[in-house]
Structures are given as structure tokens and as C-alpha cells.
């Protein structure tokens, strides 16, 4: 049993079948639509859909992590469509777009149900001409004002009570116009309270320090203080 959800602002009725075909394709290696890919738990595909949808796309299949993920790679227990990871990420992104936060627009998602389990895929807008901070900072420094912008962006997220559960420098993009974007909202949610916000910032700080050791990114503690200054404004 299959359930699909579409963003009508991007996917007209005439293109829904086309989008469903994309969601069902598991390997774009030999496709002339392929713009690139990235490896994580699985492969994320960057796809040329400009002619059909007016934007290029990012296709991601949902995979489990950790020890359990080695046993059950990509299946999750099903209760309702609204409780699936793909639909929750899709709906959260729609809300963030309504709040005018810099995140990719969701295009479509798909739930494939088999008995009590499901598999899921999501198609997102590809933000053009970007690098994530782990890439950019290997060869460039950000200015104090740019770090303040990042801090202000995270503050916007927190003011809307959005908990980005994987806030790290790989999930912060910088485009060629100098605008920062946040990506990868799988398992993220709107969460009440404030105690988690400091932990969220500390997670990001650890990410900067980790990649300074691992990749030699151009970052120091003064940069972090500028980010915190932007967050506090």
C-alpha cells in the first residue's frame, strides 16, 4: 500500500505521476537527470527536475542508524501516515516555509506500507549554488557578521520552538549570494520548553571543534563568540 503527499505549489496535478516515478527510482547512477550525489547511511540523489517542476530536487530514502540499523536497514513500525518520519519532516518544512525560515521547500514524500512496517522517501527542493560549512571553511573564513547571522538564524528557529535534533555544520549551507540555509529536518520537531536549546547550541559547537580537528576548518573561539552574540540579539 502506497501513500504520497505533494506540495501543490511545486507539483501540479499533471506532474504527480512524474514525481511518483522519481520517488520509486532507487538508483540514478546512469540517469541523464543526475546532478550529483552524496553518501551517508544511504545515497542522497541530486536530480535535474527544473523543466518539470521549476526547481531541481534532492531525493532521500530513510535509513535507520545505530546498531539496530544493521539489522533492520530501512523499515519502521507503522501506526498512521501522519506519524511516519517522511510526512512529519514534510509537514514541519511546510510550516518553516510559512514562517519564512531559510529551509528547502518539500516537494513530495512517499510511504510504502507492508503489513505493520513502512519504508519512506522524500523529495526536497535543491538549494542552488551552495556549500555546507564543513566544505566552505576548509578554504575560507567567515566574517564576524556572518557568524552573527548564523546565530540569529538559530535564534529564529528556537523562538519558533523548533528543535533541530542534528544541528551541525554539515546541515548549514551558504549560497553564492551570502545567504545561510538549514537542511536535514528528519526527526526534528516543534518542542516546548527551553532547556534543550542550550544543548542544541552545544551540539553545534562540538561540530565546529570536531571538524577543526578532522578537516582543519578555519574556526576559532572568537568566531563562536560572534555566533553567540548573534543568537543573543
For residue range 49-59, what is the model confidence (pLDDT) as tens digits?
999 999 999 99
Query: Degrees (nearest 5) of the Cα angle 160, 81, 42?
Result: 80
Q: Rounded CA gap, 73 and 64, in Å?
A: 6
Query: Mean pLDDT score of the chain, rounded to an integer?
Result: 96
CB 123 within 8 A of CB 12: no
Question: 44: part of which helix (H) or strand (E)?
Answer: strand 43-47
Averaged over 18-26, what is the pLDDT? 95
Q: How many CA atoms lie less than 13 Å away from 159 in the CB half-sphere?
A: 11
Picking from 203, 207, 212, 107, the residue whose alpha carbon sits closest to that of residue 164 is 203
- Confirm whether 74 is a catalytic residue: no
Residue 62 has pLDDT above 90, yes or no: yes
Pairing of strands 76-77, 130-132: unpaired
Q: Tell me, what's the pLDDT at 26?
A: 87
Distances (CA, A) of 36 to 59, 118, 209: 11, 27, 28
Write out the three cell numbers for 209: 571543534
User: pLDDT-based confidence at 67, cuts 50/70/90?
Assistant: low
Strand, coil or helix: 172 = strand
Q: Rounded CA gap, 196 and 198, in Å?
A: 6
Per the rule left: phi > 0, alpha: psi between -120 and 50, beta: everything else, 179 is beta
Q: Please tell me which residue in 74, 166, 175, 186 is annotated as part of the active site.
A: 166
What structural domains and CATH numbers belong to the chain?
2-125 (3.30.200), 130-232 (1.10.510.10)
Question: What's the pTM value of the predicted model, to 2 decimals?
Answer: 0.94
Distances (CA, A) of 71 to 26, 64, 186, 205: 20, 9, 21, 32
Lookup result for grid cell 540555509: 181
User: pLDDT-based confidence at 68, cuts 50/70/90?
Assistant: low
Q: Tell me, what's the pLDDT at 72?
A: 76
Picking from 154, 63, 57, the residue whose alpha carbon sits closest to that of residue 106 is 57
Q: Rounded CA gap, 205 and 226, in Å?
A: 12
Name the more confident of 155 and 40.
Answer: 155
Contacts of 48 (CB under 8 A, 6+ apart): 32, 33, 34, 35, 56
Averaged over 71-100, what is the pLDDT? 95
Write out the three cell numbers for 141: 573564513
User: pLDDT-based confidence at 66, cuts 50/70/90?
Assistant: low
Residue 69 has pLDDT above 60, yes or no: no
Q: Tell me, what's the pLDDT at 70?
A: 59
Amino acid at each position: 500500500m502506497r501513500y504520497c503527499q505533494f506540495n501543490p505549489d511545486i507539483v501540479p496535478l499533471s506532474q504527480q505521476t512524474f514525481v511518483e516515478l522519481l520517488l520509486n527510482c532507487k538508483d540514478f547512477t546512469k540517469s541523464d537527470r543526475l546532478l550529483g550525489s552524496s553518501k551517508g547511511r544511504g545515497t542522497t540523489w541530486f536530480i535535474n527536475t527544473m523543466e518539470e517542476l521549476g526547481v531541481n530536487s534532492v531525493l532521500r530514502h530513510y535509513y535507520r542508524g545505530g546498531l539496530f540499523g544493521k539489522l533492520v536497514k530501512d523499515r519502521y513500525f507503522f501506526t498512521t501516515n501522519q506519524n511516519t518520519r517522511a510526512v512529519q519532516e514534510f509537514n514541519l518544512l511546510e510550516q518553516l516555509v510559512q514562517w519564512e525560515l531559510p529551509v528547502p521547500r518539500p516537494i513530495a514524500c512517499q510511504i510504502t506500507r507492508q503489513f505493520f512496517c513502512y519504508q519512506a522517501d522524500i523529495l526536497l527542493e535543491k538549494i542552488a549554488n551552495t556549500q555546507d560549512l564543513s566544505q566552505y571553511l576548509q578554504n575560507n573564513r567567515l566574517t564576524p557578521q556572518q557568524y552573527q547571522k548564523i546565530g540569529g538564524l538559530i535564534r529564529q528557529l528556537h523562538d519558533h520552538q523548533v528543535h533541530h535534533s542534528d544541528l551541525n555544520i554539515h546541515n548549514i549551507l551558504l549560497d553564492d549570494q551570502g545567504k545561510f540555509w538549514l537542511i536535514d529536518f528528519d526527526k526534528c520537531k516543534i518542542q516546548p520548553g527551553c532547556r534543550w536549546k542550550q544543548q542544541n547550541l552545544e551540539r553545534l559547537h562540538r561540530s565546529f571543534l570536531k571538524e577543526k580537528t578532522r578537516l582543519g576548518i578555519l574556526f576559532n573561539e572568537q568566531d563562536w563568540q560572534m555566533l553567540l552574540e548573534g543568537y543573543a540579539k
